[in-house]
Amino acid sequence: MVTLELDRVEARYGRKTIYHSATVPPISGGTLTALVGPNAAGKSTLFRRIAGQLGGGGRVIFGGADLSDLRYMPQDTGMNAALTVYESIILALKQGQGGWSLRVAELKAVQSVLTRLQIADLAGRQLAELSGGQRQLVSMAQTLVSRPKVLLMDEPTSALDLFRQHEVIDALRDYVAETGAVAILALHDLNQVMRTCTTTIAVAGGQVVASGPTLEVLTPSLIRQLYGVDARVEACSRGCPMMIVDGAAA
Ligand SMILES: Nc1ncnc2c1ncn2[C@@H]1O[C@H](COP(=O)(O)OP(=O)(O)OP(=O)(O)O)[C@@H](O)[C@H]1O
């Protein structure tokens, strides 16, 4: 089982410090973790710090993995290269390996990720011709193809329609259940978080304000503190918890 823990982590852009001391107890792999918080709260910054792209003090502690097992899917993924979808996924797989020969197992990995995300029909298409949602799915395939043990995904479903959102989140849930990987998804849709993420980390103003089991973290008082809205949690007709937002906090 893979784990990830933050111990008094600091994150800086040059001299500008965003996080002074972010602590998150060990997150276990095998289920999805959400990272939530308002715009500019520091979600992408925390991802970049965990991925080693930003400096700062404190410790990012991996259990059963190291930085080379981590893949970070940023919010905006450039896709202007003159490549087909298939080629771009191979490129992502071979990155950092220092060689271009392909083994049968690697070809199978590419096929498997195309099937898992149900985008095999896009394999021969040029990246530049894809729609926004298709690009997001391809970016996800590029991230997953090397079977990372730690996965950081910044708003991975923001460009997807409702059906695709469900499909992709289910695929990610299956992936982490199979591999024991840690997967942290920055998400704005709190209903999606409640339906699919076992654990939630909430951040605001460069601080971790709560972390733990999702339904214990996403309380009406925390939602009011984070977003300035009154909200309540109710069960939908299928028994899943849902966040109903009543409006701006009174
Ligand atoms: N390259 C940068 N240089 C300096 N400051 C930055 C840089 N990138 C982000 N910031 C600042 O860091 C803070 C946190 O930004 P971040 O992108 O982490 O927020 P976020 O929670 O991911 O936001 P959103 O939900 O809007 O995507 C913001 O105040 C932002 O202006």
Q: Where are the domains of the chain?
A: 3-218, 219-250
Question: How far, in Å, is the centroid of ligand 1 from the Cα of 43?
Answer: 8
- pLDDT tens track for 76-111: 877 777 899 999 999 999 887 767 788 888 899 999
Integer Cα distance of 44 and 152 in angstroms: 10
Residue of 12, 19, 43 to test ligand 1 pocket, by largest number of atoms within 8 Å of CB: 43
pLDDT confidence bin for 1, thresholds 50/70/90: confident
Whether this model's pTM surpasses 0.90 = yes
Whose CA is closest to atom 11 on ligand 1? 40
Q: Is the CB of 41 under 6 A from ligand 1?
A: yes
Q: Which CATH number fits domain 3-218: 3.40.50.300, 3.40.1710.10, 2.130.10.10, 3.30.1330.40?
A: 3.40.50.300
Integer Cα distance of 13 and 37 in angstroms: 20
Quote the percentage of the chain above a pLDDT of 90. Answer: 88
Integer Cα distance of 106 and 90 in angstroms: 8
Average pLDDT over residues 121-125: 97
Whose CA is closest to atom 14 on ligand 1? 42
**Predicted complex ipTM:** 0.98
Closest CA to 150 of 63, 69, 51: 69
Residue of 9, 12, 13 to test ligand 1 pocket, by largest number of atoms within 8 Å of CB: 13
Question: How far, in Å, is the centroid of ligand 1 from the Cα of 170?
Answer: 29
